[in-house]
Amino acid sequence: MICLSLMLVLSLNLSLAGCSQTKLASPQGTSKEGGTLIVGMESDADLLDPHRAGGWVTMRVNNQMFEPLIGEDLSKSSQEAPVPELIPVLAERWEKSADGKTYTFDLRKKVKFHDGTPFNADAVLFNIQRLTDKNFEYYDKLAAGRTVRTFKYFDSAEVVDEDTINIHLKQPFADFLRMLAQINSLQIVSPDAIKKYGNDGFGEHPSGTGPFTFSERKRGVQITLTRNENYWGTKAHLDKVIFRPLSDASSRVLALQNDDVDLIAVPPPDSIENFKNQGFHVISGTPPHVWYLTFNFDNDFMKNKKVRQAINYAIDRRGLAKHLLRDTASPAYSMMSPGSPLYDPQENTYEYNPKKAKQLLKEAGYENGFRTILKTSVDGSGQLIPVDMAEWIQRDLGKVGIKVSLQTQEWISYLAGYNNGMSEEIGMNQMSSGRTTPYFLAIASHSAYSAPGGFNSGKYKNKELDEKMDAAANSVSVEDANHLWKEAEKMIIEDAPFAPIVNDSAPYVVHPRVQDFVVPAEEWYTLAPVWVKKEEN
């Protein structure tokens, strides 16, 4: 069934208009070395500290500088690998004990951080202590809060020798290895840089082991990275990468058309065909992305399950995806998203049905509707066109009697506030997220991750669901875990603490001179293989 689902994912994605998953071909006999790549981002980046930072925009920058023990193969497109394969990065190999509670990592030798200090087991232990040990001198409460999902079952870690470390868990955690490869996890930072600049200063002086090193940051203008000439693996082709935040969509379009940038993220949906006609490449994938509403369980209206279900039925997802997003996204009906091995493209429980929505509102005691507030960002990581989408939802809910006011905020502030939850007058907010592991269901809905401080922004609590997800997470067998995750997914759909809206195909518009840029089945990418074709004289 999993194989069948993956085939259906591919079929769905390949039907998205104007978007190709094909890798940009490499011309023969052309020098790949040197040059600068300029990326137009959809918002400014957060902190350049992979433990503290939030959002995919920032991960796309940090992923060029920092590396995990175990990573995902980002060299393959979504078509080639619907779920990215786990690969050795700073750990050459690993073993799991029979009881699923101890992991032994054999580390890569002769690796240095960008500041010239050695990477070894002591450095890994330092990073773990920074995130888990409240008595450690360099413990970082903010970073610990961001990475708690990975370390929920952490017990201890020990250095075996210079190149080997053991990590012990209190209970088996079926998704532990996949979580190590995710955003806000165990990307390894330089202990010496933390000691020199402190936890608060490290983000201004980032030092990792990745193929690019930090050069400078002009806030709101650009972040500049340069090739790591001492990289342990295959060196990057590019001399330099510049990330430019361009939160206004029309500014990104003009920047690419005026040759000020080489590629842009989140092109306006109505610009896709024009870009293709102008000779630009439009490429996309099936990342683990879902754009969804989170209902506020401190709000009296949203405590009522029939209200939450009514809102789900009242939203025309297919119309939004087709007409507003121009088929650059597909309608979403579950918190499981493409890029996750358990995604089911046939799920459509809350197909558009305004008549049923009105009936549920009547049963809930709100036949004449009510007023509420939807809080949204104006831009941001994976946010697509959030205000336009919120206005579409506002219109659809108005048709069934729910009068919605919009409350907007810029991305970095919005993201910081999301984990703090919502005040009781707010009915719902929205987020774009997802993971290549079904554990995302727990990240979004488990009471242990409830706001404030957790990603469960709506403060949803369901004891039976928590127990089901804990059982899935603590399964030694992947098959057993997957069975329990599917049961948990059904419970979430029925109880409706969220309203999934769309799954994005993550289109990028790329200048023809840019070669070997790949959009994997993930929300971040690697720029190490990318090169820029030189202009002919």
CATH number of the domain bearing residue 38: 3.40.190.10
* HSE toward the beta carbon, residue 422, CA cutoff 13 A: 28
**pLDDT at position 536, please?**
66
Query: Lowest mean pLDDT: which of 15-24, 41-50, 299-308, 331-340?
Result: 15-24
Residue 339 and residue 484 share a domain: yes
Q: Which two tokens stand for residue 140?
A: 């970082």
**Which string of DSSP letters, residue by residue, matches 166-213?**
EEEESS--TTHHHHHTSSSS--B--HHHHHHHHHHHGGGS---SSSEE
Residue 406 and residue 260 share a domain: no
36-41 vs 240-245, strand pairing mode: parallel
Residue 104 and residue 71 share a domain: yes
**Is residue 240 within 8 Å of 215, Cβ to Cβ?**
yes
Average pLDDT over residues 108-132: 98
Q: Which two tokens stand for residue 210?
A: 């990745």
Residue 312 and residue 269 share a domain: no
Question: Is the confidence at residue 513, as pLDDT, over 80?
Answer: yes
In a domain, 18, yes or no: no
Residue 395 and residue 360 share a domain: yes
Question: Is the confidence at residue 303, as pLDDT, over 60?
Answer: yes
Residue 165 and residue 129 share a domain: yes
Q: 123 to each of 127, 133, 187, 191, how far by Cα in Å? A: 6, 15, 11, 6
In a domain, 203, yes or no: no
**pLDDT at position 477, please?**
85
Residue ranges with strand state E in 301-410: 329-331, 370-377, 402-409
Average pLDDT over residues 301-307: 98
Residue 393 and residue 344 share a domain: yes
Handedness of CA 309, 490, 14, 4 (dihedral sign): negative
Query: Band of the pLDDT at 27, cuts 50, 70, 90?
Result: low
Residue 297 and residue 273 share a domain: no
Q: Which two tokens stand for residue 182?
A: 């995710």
Handedness of CA 283, 85, 208, 240 (dihedral sign): negative
**pLDDT at position 502, please?**
97
**pLDDT at position 183, please?**
85
Handedness of CA 526, 322, 22, 283 (dihedral sign): negative
Report pLDDT digits (tens) over 346-369: 999 999 999 999 999 999 999 999
In a domain, 3, yes or no: no
Question: Is the confidence at residue 315, as pLDDT, over 60?
Answer: yes
In a domain, 346, yes or no: yes
In a domain, 16, yes or no: no
- Closest listed residue to residue 194, CA positions, set 252, 136, 238: 136
**Residue 85 class from Cβ within 10 Å (0-12 exposed, 13-18 middle, 19+ buried)?**
exposed
Q: Which two tokens stand for residue 21?
A: 């998953």
Residue 311 and residue 260 share a domain: no
Query: Band of the pLDDT at 28, cuts 50, 70, 90?
Result: low
Instruction: Calculate the average pLDDT of the chain.
Output: 92
**pLDDT at position 8, please?**
35
Question: Is the confidence at residue 274, as pLDDT, over 60?
Answer: yes
Average pLDDT over residues 38-43: 95
**Is residue 123 within 8 Å of 188, Cβ to Cβ?**
yes
Question: Is the confidence at residue 107, as pLDDT, over 80?
Answer: yes
Answer yes or no: pTM beyond 0.85.
yes
Residue 96 and residue 230 share a domain: no
CB atoms within 10 A of CB 124: 23
Handedness of CA 266, 271, 272, 276 (dihedral sign): negative
Residue 529 and residue 468 share a domain: no
Enumerate residues 6+ apart whose C-beta is below 8 A from 222. 242, 243, 244, 245
Say how far apart CA 378 and CA 195 lie, in whole Å.
Answer: 37
Question: Is the confidence at residue 474, as pLDDT, over 50?
Answer: yes
Average pLDDT over residues 417-439: 94
- The total domain count for the chain is 3
Query: Band of the pLDDT at 12, cuts 50, 70, 90?
Result: very low
In a domain, 225, yes or no: yes
**Residue 480 class from Cβ within 10 Å (0-12 exposed, 13-18 middle, 19+ buried)?**
middle
Q: Which two tokens stand for residue 231?
A: 């990289």
In a domain, 11, yes or no: no
Question: Is the confidence at residue 3, as pLDDT, over 60?
Answer: no
Handedness of CA 377, 378, 384, 387 (dihedral sign): positive
Tokens 């206004």 sit at which residue? 248
The percent of residues in the chain predicted with pLDDT above 90, rounded, is 87
370-377 vs 514-515, strand pairing mode: unpaired
Q: What is the CATH number of the domain that holds 349?
A: 3.10.105.10
Long-range contacts of 98-103 (CB under 8 A, 24+ apart): 99/172, 99/476, 100/169, 100/172, 100/173, 100/174, 100/476, 101/155, 101/168, 101/169, 101/170, 101/171, 101/172, 102/166, 102/167, 102/168, 102/169, 103/166, 103/167, 103/169, 103/176, 103/177
Question: Is the confidence at residue 184, as pLDDT, over 80?
Answer: yes
**pLDDT at position 15, please?**
38
**Is residue 393 within 8 Å of 382, Cβ to Cβ?**
no
Q: What is the CATH number of the domain that holds 187?
A: 3.90.76.10
Average pLDDT over residues 447-466: 95
User: How would you label 345-358 residue by residue, b for 16+ Cβ within 10 Å and e otherwise?
Assistant: beeeebebebebbb
240-245 vs 86-88, strand pairing mode: unpaired
Find the domain containing 375 and state its range.
290-504
Report pLDDT digits (tens) over 195-253: 999 999 999 999 999 999 999 999 999 999 999 999 999 999 999 999 999 999 999 99
Say how far apart CA 358 and CA 345 lie, in whole Å.
Answer: 27
In a domain, 9, yes or no: no
Query: Band of the pLDDT at 411, cuts 50, 70, 90?
Result: confident
ω before 452 within 30° of 0 (cis)?
A: yes
